[in-house]
Structure 1
């Protein structure tokens, strides 16, 4: 039962609260002592009275901020507002039971309206019989409040007067308009303005309506143009007496083409002359009655004039490569529209010189042409520009060159004097002086380009003959420039003076050069590349080479900026480190990467080379001695060198015994020739004859080489002696087994001169050389070693001494 009662009580309370909220009953009443609209800067009080006894609070702004209020009594509080500067919102609330809505108040702060002034009215004609009077005025200070303006107009037409009112509302309204007939002659206008803080009225302004009449703006039709004239079609809805047309090219001022006192009806064509070819022109127009105001400008309309052949020759210049003097290039500038008079479609170039005449065409985006330089002397280059209407006048340039020390130099006259360059923040000033003894020049040409990029980024400007300085703009900061001042007296008399190392802004280089070394014995050749262009930060004045050998104190070498190689001589053996840095006028930049190299002991290398040379010579001799002919000559030379130990064969025991039995002896010879087969059984018989005794070993009269005695054997029919008892034994050649020619001894007292086994067919002196050749081809010498082994003789034949004639060795040699 109790539980049911509690639930019912809660239900009744919620029901009563919902009823109260649904009624929207406020908990308080709020008001201001100055009302809801106050003047900015004023002071007033905001009051709040509650409907119940409670502790009330007052808030301001959005979101609400608690304010420090004052309690007047148990149900009323107030807040004093000082110097209000903007619109504000105030609210109050309390903890009444049951709860009620808070109350609020919006305060608008502003100013009373100022008196309107500077009233200006225009009568805009819309039709031939009526128009709108549009009046504007200066409203003065902004009131920040909602204003109500009334334009009052009193119109006089003949004897009739009528008052017109035009109401408008808004905080920023400053114009109004009324429609009037063109029969109205005079009008008087004034303006009234009011807002919650006050009301004001302007002074009266009087107008004669025809004086403020303005026709509507003309309408321009299609424009048709030739190269010099454009025809503009103008249309108007009312008749006017004056028309003004203006035109201008792109980015130029307007030029007026006026024709006064004309009766302009609905449509008329107007030719505009004195125009230039191939230009985009803009046109506009306005009109006016005989009196009154000019109309507004029409909408702009544009059109191109047609092309004409280029009016002027191109600005042509040339340059040669400063590195190889083998590349020459002609440059030309793109002409402006006033010169080209159309769109350039191509360029025509002619190069003429000794035994040379070349004509070629290039595209419109090309600005240079490389001229062949395989000829010497003068070179005439002519350049034309072509558009759809024809060619420009020819632009000619002549270069005269002579070859001196493998470089092409210009034939020159007196060059400019005292050429100086002064740098600014973003420009360079070049000044010079005319040579005192030179005639008055035709013109000067100043050229400039980034260092080392003459053919790629050449720029130039032509100057009058009385000029003595020029300012170059568009210079990139931290870039090094160079150039020259040319003086032109005529086509064949040109001279110049160069300038270098000019920069607007500079800093120290950001990196050092990359080093490459090449060691040669006790010297090193150091090469390097230029610092990248973007990291030079100005003009490089010099390079510094640092060489360190471990001592901790490097040696410095300063090298000019134009060099790319440096040789350091007489370095002692050690391990070295080398690096470089670059400098500008601002100072030395960062060092480059270190490179190590070695200088070795020179003596060790020299001994190694000597040993290799000796080894190669010995190897060559060993290989050479494997030849049989070489071994034969070597043996002969050895025998000749041993003359003091060779005995005389005439005094040997064998020679004395042989002299006792003079006559014929048959000798069986065991030939060493490889052509003799082992199947031969018959011995070879030779006839021996004795010759007169000769001197031994006479090198100056030698006729045949000395050979060692061959190994022979005696046949069974012979006596005990192996060789005949004679001092000279000469055998005849046996070409076959059937040969049996013999020769008897002529003199048994002849000294042995040589022993021959084959090849002699007669004893005539004139056949000596043929016998020597056949003897040389025989195979008496062994071929298995460099030096001869001891000879082995068969039978009982012995030689106590042997005497050898060496004269033939020198003749053969």
Structure 2
């Protein structure tokens, strides 16, 4: 057997070599023992014969991959292929000086065709002259090869039969093939069969005979645009041939098709059918099909569409409201958008009216169709009415009566909230006595957004639970269960802190601090909604001093400010966190502040000033002290003060021997420029001379400077005798504005004539009030030795100071 194979291989190689030598191109020849098309799953050999003796190689695939092979002889190699499942490509090459091009071979694998089965046909009647016959058949499996199919048809007329006619396949899918042919109305019967072939074989189906009347179906009808009112549409159906059956289907948007059967024999090519029981203001789609008596229906026609006309809205709006705000000045009214079956058309606008039984119409307005709420003026026992308006009219009125009184004296009890993963269930216990027409309204909204995102659901009196849907994750909700009565009075029982999915906050509050002594006022804002993670259960204020000591202050969620008191002087760092049921969030913005050491000096100064003021006030209200203070203050007033330089005493002193001139620095008590000092000749007197300047003692009372009188000198003088004069001058040039204080040596020329009388009167008053006080001013213990000034004495330096009255006195 092997020898036979080798012999045939040699012969084949010789033949292929001869062919290539004639062509003069490739260096080798390649072929398959099973041919280029093989049965899928079979085994065979691929041979390569070279033109020269060389070491040849075999490759496969793209890019070429070296293959293991065997040598048949010095110029031929081969490879054994087992169970082929693909369509491979093989090539061979060697080093020949004269022939350098490789040789190659493409192998196709597949199956022979199966016998076509389920051959069937139907006859599309175009008109009375004929139509098209369309036939279908199934293929069992895919052959992986290029198949060719032919439909054989033998028509049978009334009186004769013609030879078969072939029709190529016009369409092909995965498992179904089809072909069509045109036939005349004279054809009564047809015989059909199918032949399929490829490179591995050929098969023929069985012959099928059809009477055209049995397989005849009408062509799809054509529909005109419907003519619609609010509840009815008229459909016109156009047919090419007379049929016995008509069927129409319709549907609104996003609905399924609804069949509208038409009974009776159709006697014309154009049929007008009325479709009733439609909804107003709806877009309806229509299609139709026809059939002969054999119950074979045509294909559905193309879809046509049309709107039904509008009607006035069928029902009142679902209206709700929030409690009056801004000191009962306004009321926020909300309404839901009515669905299409209630609105019955496009809403153009909404009309709102506020009416009072006592004063009549209070408010009326038309607002945009895009609005969902509106604020109206609030008045007690007023009726708020809301209408929806479309092109055909107004909806029935939806009324709300505004009242302060509550429908229930007691709120609803046992309200329970159960949060799931996607919804929230609210349940409650109905009161024992509920009016017949009572209802419940459950309202809810994100925390703090009642006016912006209020939602509600209305329930009848027999329901005691509601399922809230559309609740967002990581959002905190609150709301109320409201009992509504015939008079529209409402009792609200609130709930809050509802969330379906929570997490710890992702941020902390931003804080601001205000330091006041040893206190700090902390204010903060709410965290952004997307950072809260759910319902905030508490805030916490943290402070830390420079030593690392830390304190925490839990704060209720309703607060937005807190004051930290009794803080010790130090530097501090402050921050805040927020918490939910899932945990505490991170720290917010950190701020630094300082508490400084408090100084007590202002309090001491205030206390001392207060005591002094109280002391002088007490003195002022006693008559003797008031008089003494009045005399003292009179000396402080720089009006009509005698000039000591022009006194008789001063003139007598300047005439004595041993006089000296004193020049003192000018006293800067005036805002005017310094002027040339006035020099006064002062004579130094000997101690034994007591006649020239004899000191005069004032007893117990200051003397008013009026006319001069002679006063008897007491035994003990109040002040020791001195040899200088103190002068306090407001203006150095004017002797009329010089203020003089009393000294022990006061000239008698300055004493007014009425001093003695005044002293006598004041002495009597003093003796009555202070009998034990000998003198108001204590005596001084000052040296009486004369002073040697040297030079002239200026008037600015000669000061009479009133402060000497109180020096060294225990007053």
Which residue does 2:695 correspond to in 1? none
Partner of 2:335: 332
Give 1:491 shift.
2.9
Residues 1:343 and 2:343 are matched in the alignment: no
Supply the distance in 2 between the matched residues of 1:400 and 1:430 (Cα, whole angstroms).
26
Change in CA separation of 1:22 and 1:80 when aligned onto 2, cut-off 3 Å: closer
The residue that corresponds to 1:521 in the other structure is 517
The equivalent residue for 1:199 is: 202
Alignment of 1:414-563 (within 5 A): 414-439=410-435, 442-563=438-559
Q: CA deviation at 1:542?
A: 0.7
Q: Is contact 1:46–1:80 with CA below 8 Å preserved after alignment?
A: yes
Q: Is the 8 A contact 1:166 1:176 kept in 2?
A: no
SS at match of 2:332: strand
- 2:363 pairs with one of 354, 358, 374: 358
Q: Give, in whole Å, the separation in 1 of the partners of 2:199 and 2:21.
A: 35
Q: How far did 1:145 drift? A: 0.7
The CA distance in 2 between the partners of 1:193 and 1:141, in whole Å, is 12
Matched, 1:567 2:563: yes
For residues 763 and 114 of structure 2, the distance between their equivalents in structure 1, rounded to whole angstroms, comes to 151
| Equivalent in the alignment of 1:320 | 323
SS of 1:535's equivalent? helix
Using a 3 Å threshold, how does the CA distance of structure 1 residues 800 and 565 change in structure 2: closer, same or farther?
closer
Measured against aligned partners, the alpha-carbon deviations of 1:755-776 in whole angstroms (never above 9, x if no partner) come to xxxxxxxxxxxxxxxxxxxxxx
**Residue equivalent to 1:282:** 285
Distance 1:264 1:39, change over 3 A: farther
Helix, strand or coil: the match of 1:607?
helix
Q: Distance in 2 between matches of 1:181 and 1:586?
A: 83
The match for 1:694 is none
Distance change in 2, residues 1:21/1:508 (3 Å): farther
Uncovered stretches (5+) of structure 2, i.e. residues with no partner = 1-19, 618-625, 635-701, 712-735, 766-811
Q: TM-score, normalised by structure 2?
A: 0.72
**In 2: Cα distance, 1:476 partner to 1:206 partner:** 67
What CA RMSD, in Å, does the superposition of the two structures yield over aligned residues? 3.7
Shift of 1:321: 7.3
Separation in 1 of the partners of 2:407 and 2:763? 77
Superposed displacement of residue 599, structure 1? 3.1
- Deviation of 1:394 after TM superposition, in Å, equals 0.6
* CA distance 1:799–1:567, shift in 2 (3 Å): closer
How far apart, in 2, do the equivalents of 1:287 and 1:609 lie? Answer: 114
Q: Deviations over 1:127-159 (max 9, x none)?
A: 212111111121121111111222233444445
Does residue 299 of structure 2 align to residue 299 of structure 1?
Answer: no
Tell whether the 8 Å contact from 2:26 to 2:99 is kept in structure 1 after alignment. no
TM-superposed deviation, 1:384: 0.6
Cα gap change, 1:74 to 1:722, in 2 (>3 Å):
closer
SS at 1:425 equivalent: coil
1:608 Cα deviation from its structure 2 partner:
7.1
- The separation in 2 between residues aligned to 1:797 and 1:585, in whole angstroms, is 99
Larger deviation, residues 56-65 vs 132-141: 56-65
- Counterpart CA distance in 2 for 1:786 and 1:268 is 137
**Structure 2 counterpart SS, 1:456:** helix
Match of 1:370 among 370, 375, 384: 375
Bigger drift between 172-181 and 607-616 goes to 607-616
1:42 correspondence with 2:42: yes
Aligned pair in 2 of structure 1 residues 265, 61: CA closer, same or farther (>3 Å)?
farther
| C-alpha displacement of 1:347 | 0.7
SS in structure 1 opposite 2:530?
helix
Q: CA deviation at 1:439?
A: 4.5
Residue equivalent to 1:593: 589
> Given the superposition, is the C-alpha separation of residues 794 and 312 from structure 1 closer, same or farther in structure 2, using an over 3 Å criterion?
closer
Report deviation, 1:100: 4.8
Q: Structure 1, residues 643-671: CA drift from partner, whole Å, max 9, x if none? A: xxxxxxxxxxxxxxxxxxxxxxxxxxxxx
Is the 2:250–2:284 contact (alpha carbons within 8 Å) kept by the matching residues of 1?
yes
Which runs of structure 2 are paired with 1:380-779 in the superposition (5 Å)?
Answer: 380-401=383-404, 410-439=406-435, 442-604=438-600, 606-607=602-603, 610=606, 635=630, 708=704, 710-711=706-707
Alignment match, 1:33: 33
Q: Deviations over 1:662-691 (max 9, x none)?
A: xxxxxxxxxxxxxxxxxxxxxxxxxxxxxx
Paired residue secondary structure (1:320): coil
- Matched residue SS, 1:142: coil
| Distance of 1:545 and 1:637 partners within structure 2 | 63
Q: In structure 2, how many angstroms separate the alpha carbons of the residues matched to 1:304 and 1:99? A: 81
| TM-score normalised according to structure 1 size | 0.72
Q: Which digits, 9 at most, give the CA deviation of each residue in 1:393-434, with x for residues without a partner?
A: 1111223226xxxxxxx5535543322222222222222221
Separation of aligned partners in 1, 2:125 and 2:609: 118
Output the CA distance in 1 between the equivalents of 2:21 and 2:122: 60
Change in Cα spacing, 1:210 to 1:797, as seen in structure 2 (3 Å) is closer
Count of residues in correspondence between the two structures: 642
Q: Distance in 2 between matches of 1:204 and 1:464?
A: 72
Q: Which runs of 5+ in 1 are unaligned?
A: 1-19, 403-409, 622-630, 640-705, 713-720, 724-781
- How big is each residue's C-alpha offset from its partner over 1:162-203, in whole Å with a ceiling of 9 and x where there is no partner? 453434369867111222223433434332222222222333
**Native 8 Å contact 1:545 1:556 kept in 2:** yes
Distance 1:128 1:784, change over 3 A: farther
Q: Which residue of 2 aligns with 1:128?
A: 128
Q: How far 1:603 sits from its partner (Å)?
A: 4.8
